[in-house]
């Protein structure tokens, strides 16, 4: 039956996770993908577009599109890398850092709500299994 196929199950879980994220995050214009970029920059500091894509597991075209949308909101800024002008560095702005700090509790709540149907042991096992698949 199609509903038992792994792609179907993963797609449904992804849809649910995105819906919970959107409900909990507190910024209707912010996607889960954009959030991952903001949090990564908050934790890692300035990164090249390529590094950012690797850290967030995004292809170059997706990375560029996300960065453009975040730059339009003045949450990140792009500058040529001073050591290698062929590269573009992406940095979180003060506004972006403030947004991350303000929404971090909401993201933690979203994480807990997404995993809430599972026991704590199941949550750990599930996240471990997902890490092995990814």
The one-character DSSP state at 87 is S
Give the model's confidence band at 1: pLDDT under 50 very low, under 70 low, under 90 confident, else very high: low
Q: Closest Cα to residue 22, out of 119, 104, 107? A: 107
Give the pLDDT mean for 95-117. Answer: 97
Tens digits of residue pLDDT in 64-92:
999 999 999 999 999 988 888 788 899 99
Task: Report the pLDDT value the prediction gives residue 4, as an integer from 0 to 100.
Answer: 80
3-state secondary structure of 48: strand
Q: Residues 75, 133: contact at Cβ < 8 Å?
A: no
Q: Each residue of 20-63: pLDDT tens digit? A: 999 999 999 999 999 999 999 999 999 999 999 999 999 999 99
Residue 100 · residue 38 · CB < 8 Å:
yes
**What's residue 20's pLDDT?**
97
pLDDT at position 105:
97
91 in Cβ contact with 49 (< 8 Å): no
CATH, residue 7: 1.10.10.10
**Per-residue pLDDT for 2 more than 80?**
no
Give the CA count within 13 Å in the CB-facing half-sphere of 57. Answer: 5
DSSP state of 116: T
Q: Helices in the chain by DSSP H: which ranges?
A: 6-25, 32-44, 49-56, 60-72, 94-115, 120-133
Give the strand pairing for 88-92 and 47-48.
Answer: antiparallel
pLDDT for the residue 83: 83
Q: Which residue has the tokens 């990814």?
A: 134
Q: Print the domain residue range for 118.
A: 2-133
Give the number of domains in the chain. 1
pLDDT tens for 15-29 read: 999 999 999 999 999
Task: Give the Cβ contact number of residue 13 at 10 Å.
Answer: 13
């Amino acid at each position: 039956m199609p509903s038992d196929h792994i792609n179907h199950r993963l797609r449904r879980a992804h849809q649910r996770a995105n819906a919970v994220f959107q409900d909990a995050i507190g910024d209707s214009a912010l996607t889960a993908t954009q959030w991952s970029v903001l949090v990564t920059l908050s934790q890692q500091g300035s990164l090249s577009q390529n590094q950012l894509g690797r850290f967030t597991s995004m292809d170059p075209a997706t990375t560029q599109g996300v960065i453009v949308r975040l730059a339009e909101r003045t949450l990140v800024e792009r500058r040529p890398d001073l050591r290698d002008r062929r590269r573009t560095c992406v940095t979180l702005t003060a506004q972006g850092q403030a947004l991350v700090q303000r929404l971090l509790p909401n993201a933690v709540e979203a994480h807990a709500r997404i995993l809430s149907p599972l026991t704590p042991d199941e949550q750990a096992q599930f996240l471990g299994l997902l890490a092995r698949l990814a």
